[in-house]
Amino acid sequence: MKLEIEHLSVALEGRDILQNLSLQAEAGELLALLGPSGCGKTTLLKTVAGILAPQCGRIRLGREDITHLPPHRRGVVILFQDIRLFPHMTAAENVAFPLRMRGVGRRARLEQAAKLLDRVRLPGYGARRVGSLSGGERQRVALARALAAEPRLLLLDEPFSALDENLREDMRELVLSLHREFRTTTVLVTHDRGEALGMSDRVALLFHGEIEQCDTPEAVYLRPATRRAADYFGGCALLDGEVRAGIFRGGPVALPVSLPEGRYALCLRERMWRPAENGPYALRVERVRFRGPETAVTLAAADGTLFQKTFPGSVPFQEGDVLRFDLDVGDPVFFPQEECL
Amino acid sequence: MRKKRTAYLLLLPLMGMTALALLACGSVLTQSLGVVPAFGLTEPTLDYYREALADPAFFSALGVSLRVALLSALAAAVLGTALCAALVRVGPGPMGLLIRLPILVPHAVTALFAILLLSQTGLLARWAWALGVISEPGEFPQLLFTPGYGGTILAYLWKEIPFVAYFTLALMAGVSCTLGEAAENLGASPLRAFLTVTLPLSLPAISQAFLIIFLFAFGGYELPLLLGATLPKALPVYAHLAYMHPDLRQRPAAMALYGLILLLSAAMATLYGLLTRHLLRRVEGGQ
Amino acid sequence: MRKALFLRLFLGLAAFCILLPAALLVLWSAAARWSWPNLLPESWSGRTARELLFGAQSIWPLLGSSAALGGLAAALATLIGLLTARAAALYDFPGKPLVRFAGLLPLLIPGTVFAVGIHLALLRLGLADTLAGVLLVHVMTALPYSIAILTDVTAALGGGLEEQAAVLGAGPVRGFFAVSLPELTPGILSSMSMAFILSYSQYFTTLIVGGGRVRTLALALVPYIQGGDRSLASVYALAFTGSALGVFALFETLIHRWQKRGDRP
């Protein structure tokens, strides 16, 4: 079901956490909400779920305005970061809990719970006590429990952060396959850039309580809307410079552009530098750091500007050598300079 | 590695205190068996217990103490839990401080409160008169100094309801803001979330608070002394009367009564532990 | 938040029930005449206050002995509590579960039996009917609470800071005073506050173990309550409760100040 958040503002203990935030998730979509810790991701989830009340703004699910509904009537389920299984119930009773709240009889709900436990690849775990489950198993029980509620909207709050790295990949695949199967509109909160890019249909970037950009993973990564967004994803260097008479000049770089005059920053990715025998750019090797599968090299232009570039394997040159490069910026991304002030 | 010897040295004062406490219980039990060398009594005997158990006054005193302890502890557990739940839901605020007041007020002062408030010329009776419910003090129900021990129970409640709330608050608040929240998120109304998740998981604290206040009221002296009837007396008051008997050879009889209070408390605590163990293991097992 | 209205009313009622007797105590202690069925005293007087401050049994010596006893009991219970807490929280040794039981023991024994039994035990030690004996029994009564509070804070702090201090060259005693003690101060203060209040309110133990020779405010109060003069009983109860709450508030303020001091960068 489609989620629409309009002009939402939330304050906690007198501090503004979210300001005038608008965001949409299409029906059946998996939207990643990405941002550094403390940017208001969890606050946004809790507000959508009705645990926190907004100062102003509206939240709509499908055609219904749910801004003032109590949490238990929203049909919005959070998979909490700290899992929150009920310790006095078995795994099956936990999964059956939302059905029990809806008045489903004991036999029927336990049958349904067993089916859902199969779905999350925990067959026969129904009678197990929560205390006897491992971290990954608990996470999967919680996932089954959230699905049992048949949510109109599923909110995943950093669901993989408590898991070991090897379990994390399994869980991601499980969540993706369940999403393909149930097509529940899902918001995945994470601070892991790779996870957000790899799992979602669209990525919403949240900084300091405001949405910075919301687009497909490719667009968000390759065409960051703001300098902050570019900085957050990394993998690019921002080269400050100036456009005058249709030419951008910054450091050693000069490019013909069609921009009004003014100060700009050019987003330079390391793959744009191509080693070439007779390339126009002569860069001196400042530092070589061998890292096993790759070697990180710092290059300096004549004016002292530094660039990073990684080469596969080891490199045949040393610190002090001068190499020649071509620069292929393709469709370049510029940020007006005022913005970063 | 920290040394074991240091640990035992640190524990020396506690061991001294514990030895003294055990010696205290031992002395009561020895004398209750009629062994008081100072009075020339050296033969252990159960006669004093037999005498105590043959006296109907003992059983009426036991009845009073059990009644007061059970009624006050049960009501305090229920109302204290409700108070705690309200504090968790609304947020503690100034009330979180205020509930500590009755815990700090000593029992003797609580007894005075009961006299000023509940006696037939107390404030409640005056309010009843002002509202036209009664026309003279004698019509107000007699709560103090009566065999029903109503005033004693109410005085205990004034102290114990806040105690239960205070004792349970930290655990219940912790459960409520994580698992209670999760239950509501999964479709439980606030009341059902409380009944199915928060309350069962708060039971360990509530149950412990119940045992503490039950045993305290069972062995308590001041409130039944100051608010209770002349007859029947509460067990500790009855025992103290025997203890104060001018004839020192009556001492073993008094000690038998104290011995009975001690043994009954221990037996009830053990029984309670056995009864609640299954319940609590289920709740605590997963944590 | 209209739905919380019912709960707020319930909390308001509870607050009223807690405060009503306290207000009643103040009214009675200043009332000269308050006859049935008046809702407020007809006339006021300073008679009871004069009696309390300058009368035959004025409050000052009682206040002095109660406060001295409470202060000493608080200091001793906290000291023993600290030692026990260190052993229980930072060391591993055979018989450790017994420490928990030993700490709780005075709570598990019914108060009246405890008092009579301790009196018998102290008779053998020659401490019965003395101030030292009463102090000892007050310390024992407060000890379970002190141990519980201090074990919590000691365990929460752990031994890490002292290990760090030791690595940096501080001896064990120096390490404790320089590093752990400041962190434990709020716990120490709340243990002292608790122990003081408990000692201050002891009635039956003081009565039995003191054998009538040790006079405290709590002991003096009971005959007034048993007597018929409600105003006089109220004024003594007010002085008693007020001084106890005053000490409690003082400790709370100290704890608050200390914690705020730590928060400052």
In terms of CA atoms, which chain C residue is nearest residue B128?
Answer: C37
Supply the range of the domain harboring residue C148. 59-263
Q: Does B104 touch chain A (CB under 8 A)?
A: no
Q: What is the mean pLDDT of residues A143-166?
A: 92
CA torsion C102-C103-C105-C110 (nearest 10°) is 170
* Cβ separation A84–B283 shorter than 8 A: no
User: If contacts are CB pairs under 8 Å, which of residues 159-188 in chain B contact chain A?
Assistant: 178-179, 181-188
A340 has pLDDT over 50: no
Express each pLDDT in A315-334 by its tens digit. 999 999 999 999 988 888 89
How far is residue C217's CA from residue C221's CA, in Å, rounded to a whole number?
6
> What is the per-residue pLDDT for C3?
56
The amino acid sitting at A7 is H
pLDDT more than 70, % of chain B:
97
- Residue B286: the pLDDT is 44
Average pLDDT of span C260-265: 63
- Domain ranges across chain B: 68-286
Mean pLDDT within C125-138: 93
| pLDDT value at residue B2 | 61
Enumerate the residues of chain C whose CB falls inside 8 A of the CB of residue B106.
200-201, 203, 218, 240-241, 244
The pLDDT value recorded for residue B1 is 47
Domain annotation covers residue C44: no
User: Where residue C101 sits, what CATH number does that domain have?
Assistant: 1.10.3720.10
What's the mean pLDDT in C180-188? 93
C12 found inside a domain:
no
Are C225 and B115 a contacting pair at CB < 8 A? yes
What's the confidence (pLDDT) of residue A336?
Answer: 87
Maximum CA extent, chain C: 75
Instruction: With respect to residue C135, please indicate whether it lies within any of the assigned structural domains.
Output: yes
d(CA C201, CA C196): 9
Residue contact C140–B111, C-beta within 8 A: no
pLDDT at C1: 46
Mutation target for B interface from C35, C225, C232, C243: give the one with most B CBs within 10 A: C225
Q: Which residues contact A111 (CB under 8 A, 6 or more apart)?
A: none
Q: Which among B17, B24, B101 is the nearest to C18, CB-wise?
A: B101
The arrangement of strands across the sheet holding A294-300 comes to A273-275, A322-327, A281-290, A294-300, A306-312
CATH: 3.30.450.40, 3.40.50.150, 1.10.3720.10, 1.20.1050.140. Which one for B68-286?
1.10.3720.10
Closest CA to A275 of A241, A312, A237: A312
- Distance (Å, rounded) from C-alpha B235 to C-alpha B215? 13
Per residue in A244-268, pLDDT (tens digit) is 989 999 888 888 998 898 899 899 8
Q: What is the pLDDT of residue A71?
A: 94
In this prediction, residue A338 carries a pLDDT of 64
Q: What is the mean pLDDT of residues A105-113?
A: 96
- Residue C3 falls within a domain, yes or no? no
> Which helix (DSSP H) or strand (DSSP E) does residue C44 occupy?
strand C43-44
C120·B28 Cβ contact <8 A: yes
Taking CA atoms, A91 is separated from A129, A156, A167, B260, C1, in Å, by 6, 20, 20, 47, 35
Q: What's the CA gap between B166 and A3, in Å, rounded?
A: 42
Helix (H) / strand (E) element for C32: namely strand C31-33
Residues of chain B neighbouring A71 (CB-CB closer than 8 A): 181, 184-185
Query: In chain A, which residue's Cα lies nearest the Cα of B182?
Result: A84
Instruction: Tell me the range of A230-234, C173-177, C232-236 where mean pLDDT is highest.
Output: C232-236
Mean pLDDT (whole number) for A162-189: 92
Residue in this structure with the two tokens 């994390």, named with its chain if needed:
A168
- In C153-212, the residues whose Cβ lies within 8 Å of chain B are 159, 197, 200-201, 203-204
Instruction: Give the contacts of B286 (CB within 8 A, at least 6 positions apart).
Output: A85, A86, A87, A88, A89, A129, A130, A131
Q: Which tokens belong to C26?
A: 């103040």
CB < 8 Å to A73, chain B: 187
Q: How many domains does chain C have?
A: 1
* pLDDT per residue as tens digits for the range B29-76: 999 999 998 888 889 999 999 999 999 999 999 999 999 999 999 999
pLDDT over 90 percentage in chain A: 72
Where are the strands (E) in chain A, listed by range? 3-12, 15-25, 30-34, 56-61, 64-65, 76-79, 153-157, 185-190, 202-207, 210-215, 236-244, 247-250, 253-256, 262-269, 273-275, 281-290, 294-300, 306-312, 322-327, 333-336
Does pLDDT of B120 surpass 70? yes
Per-residue pLDDT, averaged over A88-101, amounts to 95
Quick one: average pLDDT of B3-30?
93
pLDDT of B3 strictly over 90: no
Which pLDDT tens digit goes with each residue over A266-311?
A: 998 888 999 998 889 999 999 999 999 999 999 999 888 888 899 9
Looking at residue A294, what is its pLDDT? Answer: 93
The Cα B76–Cα B70 span in angstroms is 10
pLDDT in tens, A21-71: 999 999 999 999 999 888 899 999 999 999 999 999 999 999 999 999 999
Determine the distance in angstroms separating the CA of A73 from the nearest CA of chain B, rounded to an integer: 6
ipTM: 0.92
Cα distances from C212 to residues B242, C58, C216, C237, in angstroms, run 18, 18, 10, 20
Mean pLDDT taken over chain B: 93
The residue to which tokens 């020895």 are assigned: B30
Distance from A274 to chain B by nearest Cα, in Å?
Answer: 53
Region B15-28: what's the mean pLDDT? 95
pLDDT tens across B229-268, in order?
Answer: 999 999 999 999 999 999 888 899 999 999 999 999 999 9
pLDDT in tens, C88-113: 999 989 888 899 899 989 988 999 99
Distances (CA, A) of A335 to A155, A212, A242, A340, B196: 33, 14, 11, 9, 55
Set of chain B residues whose Cβ sits within 8 Å of the Cβ of A70: 184, 189-190
Partners of B185 on chain A (C-beta within 8 Å) are 49, 51, 71-72, 76-78, 80
Question: In a mutagenesis test of the A interface, which of B178, B186, B192, B194 is the best target, namely the one with the most A β-carbons within 10 Å?
Answer: B186
